């Protein structure tokens, strides 16, 4: 840390010594409180940095926004070093180095810098976010904002808060109207779960009161024991109601909705492949898109496009129309012949202004035609809109409709991609298969809706507890698969064993008594010269061992 003069270091050393002596003289409860106070300053600043990052990632990367991000990172580094939070200090330094590199590059965001900043922010968002991720000296609250629970039945609210905690989401029950007002005055939540009958029927009025004066309305999920009439639901919608639950209120369904509404944490920049034989034009297009936080890769040799597609996996392709080796329309035909790239949007970017030729080009596999010169805002907006729509469509094609996880086919494709990268980078790779124990008994005893709820619950649980870089798939029925890059078998066993233990603690409201479920898991690590078929077979054999060893356990292939 920069000390700002020769007289500062002895003073800082003396302060640190006094702080250390004071902390050692305190009894344990006071020591914990002091640690918590220090850590709160760090976590508040980490939260602010992430909020600036998320705001920046949704807009163009202006110099003012970059300056705000740099300032937030500097404050995080100061607090983290001051309060001896090593993990946050290291992350803040690394973020500062990235931003300095952007400045050294005349403000241009390269693909590598965007990717590295994204990785660092993901790491920062995970600190204190999931169970088991702890700060160096103390347990801390999660980075994400809490959910306020305003339910008439306090026992129900406490139970629901506990269930949400299992999924890694902080929830704060409010006993009465004044407690809810006090919570709102202290901090705005990620979302509000409001019962219509809360505080003797004040639910709707309190929700209206909470939204008063806010530019951006808070998401409110209303709840009622009984079915309600249209005027009540209309009033709920006007009070910011994003959904209305009636009858039962289970944690997994509630969490799924909150996750959809808040979309906290992960920023995944769009990836664009630019194919243009002119280096100057390709560099200009890269510069424009990089300024909006879009990761690009420029290719001036069009005949190598298929290898780049496999390596880069873009969300969108920008093609020049006229190149010496081939026409853009010819290249589009070749790309469309590969099933994997049928749905990737292709935009022609050319000086061609003949409308008939533009229409002919679009009929040859293109999705849009932009004429040079083009205004940067027009290019950025077109790329973002096309890429976002393509991602949404792809998600529907490769994901399971019940859980939102990857389907069987795409999971194996992701495993193969991960195997390729692990081989190239000489990094470990682990594949795990999970199976819910006695699932048929759940369906037979409690019905298929309850079975679906358990499957969705485990899917959400895995998404909450695993890294964003891990790939989770529904392999079929009650079976799941997880691809864990940069992870050896021992580390995977530790993570999945903790998930297994915590999942077994979840209770689902049912009659005549609440239901709890467990799962068995088999793990295999990628070996030399191993293909994905062998890796999947070994994970399946380890799962078989876990099942026949008594279930509710995690086994590693030996």
SS3 7: coil
Tokens describing residue 243: 């959904």
Tokens describing residue 17: 């010594």
Give the per-residue pLDDT at 476. Answer: 87
Would you give the DSSP letter of residue 521? E
pLDDT band at 249 (very low <50, low <70, confident <90, very high): confident
pLDDT of residue 326 exceeding 70, the answer is yes
pLDDT band at 204 (very low <50, low <70, confident <90, very high): very high
Pick the range with the lowest mean pLDDT from 126-130, 384-388, 521-525: 126-130
Cα first-last separation, the chain: 48
pLDDT band at 3 (very low <50, low <70, confident <90, very high): very low
Would you give the DSSP letter of residue 303? G
Give Cα separations from 475 to 88, 173, 410, 411, 434 (angstroms). 37, 37, 10, 8, 9
Give the per-residue pLDDT at 32. Answer: 57
373 preceded by a cis bond (ω within 30 of 0): yes
Give the per-residue pLDDT at 164. Answer: 79
Give the per-residue pLDDT at 267. Answer: 56
pLDDT, one tens digit per residue, over 457-505 is 898 888 878 887 899 999 988 999 999 999 999 999 999 999 999 899 8
Pick the range with the lowest mean pLDDT from 157-171, 299-313, 385-399, 526-540: 157-171
Q: Is the pTM value of this prediction over 0.85?
A: no
Give the per-residue pLDDT at 175. Answer: 92
Question: Mean pLDDT, to the nearest integer, of 325-352?
Answer: 86
Q: To the nearest whole percent, how much of the chain has pLDDT over 70? A: 85
pLDDT, one tens digit per residue, over 9-37 is 333 444 444 344 434 444 455 555 555 56
Give the per-residue pLDDT at 328. Answer: 83
Question: Mean pLDDT, to the nearest integer, of 114-134?
Answer: 63
pLDDT of residue 200 exceeding 80, the answer is yes
pLDDT of residue 80 exceeding 70, the answer is yes
Q: Rounded distance, CA 101 to CA 204, Å?
A: 51
Tokens describing residue 456: 């969705």
Give the per-residue pLDDT at 411. Answer: 92
pLDDT band at 252 (very low <50, low <70, confident <90, very high): low
pLDDT band at 435 (very low <50, low <70, confident <90, very high): very high
Q: Rounded distance, CA 440 to CA 550, Å?
A: 17
Give the per-residue pLDDT at 253. Answer: 67
pLDDT band at 149 (very low <50, low <70, confident <90, very high): very high
Find, among 106, 35, 120, the residue nearest to 73 by Cα.
Answer: 120
SS3 319: strand
Give the per-residue pLDDT at 262. Answer: 64
Q: What is the dihedral of CA 289, 293, 299, 304, to 10 degrees?
A: -130
pLDDT, one tens digit per residue, over 133-145 is 333 333 333 446 7
Give the per-residue pLDDT at 24. Answer: 43
Q: What is the dihedral of CA 206, 212, 215, 218, to 10 degrees?
A: 0
Mean pLDDT (the chain) is: 81
pLDDT of residue 102 exceeding 90, the answer is no
pLDDT band at 397 (very low <50, low <70, confident <90, very high): confident
Give the per-residue pLDDT at 60. Answer: 65
pLDDT of residue 127 exceeding 80, the answer is no
pLDDT of residue 126 exceeding 70, the answer is no
Question: Mean pLDDT, to the nearest integer, of 367-381?
Answer: 88
Q: Which residue has the higher pLDDT, 143 or 208?
A: 208
Question: Mean pLDDT, to the nearest integer, of 338-342?
Answer: 82
Give Cα separations from 158 to 139, 220, 489 (angstroms). 21, 19, 37
Q: Rounded distance, CA 109 to CA 115, Å?
A: 10
Q: To the nearest whole percent, how much of the chain has pLDDT over 90? A: 28
pLDDT, one tens digit per residue, over 500-549 is 998 998 888 777 778 889 999 999 999 988 899 999 999 999 999 999 99
Q: Where does residue 247 fall: left (phi above 0), alpha (psi -120 to 50 degrees), or beta otherwise?
A: left
Q: Are 221 and 205 in contact (CB under 8 A)?
A: no
């Amino acid at each position: 840390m920069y000390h700002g003069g020769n007289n500062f270091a002895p003073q800082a050393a003396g302060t640190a010594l006094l702080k250390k002596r004071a902390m050692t003289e305190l009894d344990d409860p006071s020591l914990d409180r002091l640690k918590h106070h220090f850590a709160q300053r760090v976590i508040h600043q980490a939260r602010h940095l992430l909020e600036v990052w998320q705001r920046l990632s949704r807009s163009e990367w202006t110099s003012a926004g970059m300056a705000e991000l740099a300032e937030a990172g500097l404050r995080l580094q100061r607090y983290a070093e001051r309060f001896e939070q090593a993990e946050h200090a290291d992350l803040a330094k690394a973020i500062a180095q990235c931003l300095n590199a952007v400045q050294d590059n005349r403000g241009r965001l390269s693909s590598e810098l965007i990717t590295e900043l994204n990785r660092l922010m993901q790491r920062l968002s995970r600190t204190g976010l999931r169970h088991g991720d702890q700060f160096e000296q103390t347990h801390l609250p999660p980075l994400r904002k809490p959910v306020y629970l305003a339910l008439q039945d306090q026992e129900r609210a406490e139970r629901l808060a506990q269930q949400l905690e299992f999924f890694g989401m902080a929830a704060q029950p409010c006993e009465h109207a004044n407690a809810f007002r006090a919570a709102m005055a202290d901090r705005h939540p990620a979302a509000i779960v409001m019962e219509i009958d809360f505080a003797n029927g004040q639910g709707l009025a309190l929700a209206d009161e909470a939204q008063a004066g806010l530019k951006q309305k808070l998401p409110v999920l209303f709840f009622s024991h009984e079915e309600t009439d249209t005027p009540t639901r209309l009033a709920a919608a006007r009070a910011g109601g994003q959904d209305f639950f009636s009858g039962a209120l289970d944690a997994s369904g509630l969490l799924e909705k909150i996750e959809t509404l808040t979309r906290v944490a992960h920023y995944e920049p769009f990836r664009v492949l630019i194919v243009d034989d002119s280096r100057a034009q390709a560099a200009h297009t890269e510069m424009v898109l990089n300024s909006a936080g879009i990761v690009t890769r420029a290719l001036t040799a069009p005949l190598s496009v298929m290898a780049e597609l496999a390596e880069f996996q873009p969300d969108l392709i920008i093609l020049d129309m006229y190149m010496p080796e081939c026409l853009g329309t010819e290249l589009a035909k070749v790309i469309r012949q590969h099933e994997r790239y049928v749905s990737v949007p292709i935009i022609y970017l050319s000086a061609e202004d003949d409308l008939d030729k533009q229409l002919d080009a679009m009929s040859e596999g293109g999705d849009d035609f932009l004429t040079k010169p083009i205004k940067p805002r027009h290019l950025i907006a077109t790329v973002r809109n096309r890429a976002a729509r393509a991602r949404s469509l792809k998600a529907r094609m490769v994901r399971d409709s019940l859980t939102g996880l990857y389907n069987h086919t795409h999971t194996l494709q992701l495993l193969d991609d991960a195997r390729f990268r692990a081989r190239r980078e000489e990094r470990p790779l682990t594949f795990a298969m999970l199976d819910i124990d006695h699932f048929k008994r759940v369906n037979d005893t409690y019905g298929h809706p309850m079975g679906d709820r358990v499957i969705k619950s485990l899917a959400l649980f895995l998404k909450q507890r695993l890294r964003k870089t891990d790939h989770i798939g529904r392999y079929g029925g009650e079976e799941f698969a997880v691809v864990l890059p940069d992870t050896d078998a021992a580390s995977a066993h530790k993570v999945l064993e903790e998930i297994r233990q915590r999942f077994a603690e979840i209770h689902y409201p049912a009659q005549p008594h609440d239901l709890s479920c467990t799962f068995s898991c088999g793990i295999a690590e990628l070996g030399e010269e191993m293909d994905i078929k062998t890796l999947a077979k070994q994970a399946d054999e380890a799962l078989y061992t876990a099942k026949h060893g008594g279930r509710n356990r995690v086994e590693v292939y030996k």
